[in-house]
Amino acid sequence: MQIQIITDSACDLPKKIVNELDIKVLPLFVRVDGEEYEDGYTIETEYVYKRMREGFVPTTAQVSLEKFRECFTDCAEQKKVCIYIGFSSGLSGTYNASTLVEQEVKEKYKEFDLTTIDTKCASMGFGLVVYKAARMAKKGASKDEIIECVKRFSNKMEHIFTVDTFDTLVKGGRVTKTKGFIGNLLKIKPILNVEDGKLVPIEKARGNSKAFKKMIEIIGDRGEDLENQVFGISHGDDIEKALTMKKMLEETFGTKEFVISQIGSVIGSHSGPGCLALFFLNEKQSEY
């Protein structure tokens, strides 16, 4: 029996991959103009970015207990073997909600074979982990093989990203208004990473060109076997930035395989329009 891979919409995987690999994706929620929407399902991400450019600040919420309950119960009744691969518990309560419902459903369905995993990753960072797991499942890998790979990839996944302005970082309380004002004034681009599931500033550069060059340097220092990796690029409604970076990666490291996607409504509500995020491993890929 093929393993059912379940995840949540913060993975930011393209719908084509989700559909081809039969991945179940549970939505987080975004609130815009007083209405709550399901990320990736009931609102266009471009509209969220449009409202942000107009100065609106969306709010977000984790996957609901009811969504987990519906999904897990359905899988239990169909006697599926499942792995839920979740958004970092350091950035959302989604993973913790999954474990609560896991216990509840397993009390009713004693034989339900479900494993939940906190990737400590975000956006395409854990999207690539999900992608790897789903491809392994499609090829007939065992549950134990997939779990081992998911945990290893989660620990080895690098997240390097830059935001267009300091505005979202100020609104999120990650930098002071004064630092944000000065940063915007000087056109400084902060470069951040996700470490132990949380956002951490690591570098800064003045202007996009210098920021991109600095990101390439960081990737060269941290990456391993970049030529043969599946490299993730996600963007905040700015495909030109993503394509520019793709070309730089091809020319610098010879990278051949990419997954490029727009950052979804929930992650985008915190990273803002114009964000560029890069995801790669600091180890060689396995045979799957």
Distance CA 153, CA 132 (A): 9
Regarding whether 277 and 208 lie in a shared domain, the answer is yes
Instruction: Indicate the residue among 96, 125, 155 that finishes a domain.
Output: 155
SS3 110: coil
201 and 273 together in one domain: yes
Least confident of 2-11, 82-91, 189-198, 233-242: 189-198
The pLDDT value given to residue 197? 64
pLDDT for residue 188 is more than 80: no
Whole-number Å distance between alpha carbons of 232 and 230: 7
Residues 138 and 180 in one domain: no
Are residue 141 and residue 9 in the same domain, yes or no?
yes
pLDDT, averaged across the chain: 89
- Is 34 a domain residue? no
Of 155, 180, 211, which closes a domain? 155
Q: What is the CATH number of the domain that holds 78?
A: 3.40.50.10440
115, pLDDT greater than 90? yes
CATH number at residue 167: 3.30.1180.10
| Residue 218 lies inside a defined structural domain of this protein | yes
252-271: string of b/e by CB count within 10 Å (b at 16+)? ebebeebbbbbbbbbbbbbb
The predicted model scores a pTM of 0.90
198 and 69 share a domain? no
Structural domain total, the chain: 2
Quick check: 272 and 168 in contact, CB under 8 A? yes
Same domain? For 248 and 114 the reply is no
pLDDT category of residue 270 using cuts at 50, 70 and 90: confident
pLDDT given for residue 22 in this prediction = 97
Q: What is the pLDDT of residue 271?
A: 86
Tell me, yes or no, whether 103 and 126 share the same domain.
yes
Residue range(s) defining the domain that contains residue 273? 157-281
pLDDT confidence bin for 178, thresholds 50/70/90: very low
- Whether 42 maps to a domain, the answer reads no
Q: How confident is the model at residue 181 (pLDDT cuts 50, 70, 90)?
A: very low
Query: Looking at the predicted structure, is the pLDDT value of residue 57 above 70?
Result: yes
Classify residue 140 by its DSSP letter: T
